Amino acid sequence: MIKEAIANVERQDESSKHLSQNDSLAQVLGKEHPGRVRTLGAELCPTQVFGNAAGQSSGSSEQNEEYERRIAELIAKIEEEQAKRQLMGKVLGYIIQQQGGNLPADVAVTLDDLGSIPTSSRARPSSSGNHDPQQK
């Protein structure tokens, strides 16, 4: 019975074959109720599938603009922090080279765990217990 009703609606209106809030299924079964969209699983709500109804204002365009502005600010801040981190990595690499590449074992392990500090001497931890450059 439902199958025939859907076929009848689709014969009368070709546009009802396309997924919309007024497609053939909606015309036969009735308008979608708030909550989840029929036949599309439990994960999708009507606005995710159909968007806002034509002519209906979402009422949150200002809020969306604020979110977009805030996201842009956060992205810029992340990029700035990444640049600082890269610079600190370069400075650390330079300092390690100036110290002859001999690092305390725990520092070498920590740097290996970080994985982003550009030093070729990380694999050469110091075997001496004295790390004071004045007393070598």
What single string gives the DSSP state of each residue in 107-136? Answer: HHHHHHHH--S--S-TT-B--SS---GGG-
Which neighbouring-strand residues pair with 125? 103
| Residue 96 within any structural domain of the chain | yes
Do 32 and 75 have their domain in common?
A: no
| Residue 136 within any structural domain of the chain | no
| Residue 119 within any structural domain of the chain | yes
Distances (CA, A) of 77 to 59, 65, 80, 82: 29, 18, 5, 9
Do 23 and 76 have their domain in common?
A: no
Question: Are 46 and 37 within 8 A, CB to CB?
Answer: yes
Q: Is the pTM of this model over 0.75?
A: no
Do 72 and 118 have their domain in common?
A: yes
Say how many domains are in the chain.
2
Do 40 and 66 have their domain in common?
A: no
Cα–Cα nearest to 121, from 133, 113, 131, 111? 111
Residues with Cβ within 8 Å of residue 49, at least 6 apart in sequence:
19, 37, 40
Residues with Cβ within 8 Å of residue 44, at least 6 apart in sequence:
36, 37
Question: Are 25 and 39 within 8 A, CB to CB?
Answer: yes
Do 15 and 71 have their domain in common?
A: no
| Residue 45 within any structural domain of the chain | yes
For residue 76, the model assigns a pLDDT of: 95
Residue type for 17, please?
Answer: K
| Residue 74 within any structural domain of the chain | yes
Length of the chain: 136
Do 72 and 123 have their domain in common?
A: yes
For residue 115, the model assigns a pLDDT of: 67
Residue 110 structural domain: 61-128
Do 76 and 106 have their domain in common?
A: yes
| Residue 56 within any structural domain of the chain | no
Do 65 and 44 have their domain in common?
A: no
| Residue 55 within any structural domain of the chain | no
For every one of its 136 residues, what pLDDT tens digit does the chain have, with 9 covering 90 and above? Answer: 767 776 776 777 665 555 555 565 566 665 655 555 555 555 555 565 566 554 445 557 888 888 999 999 999 999 999 999 999 988 888 888 887 777 778 877 887 777 655 444 444 444 444 555 454 4
Do 74 and 38 have their domain in common?
A: no
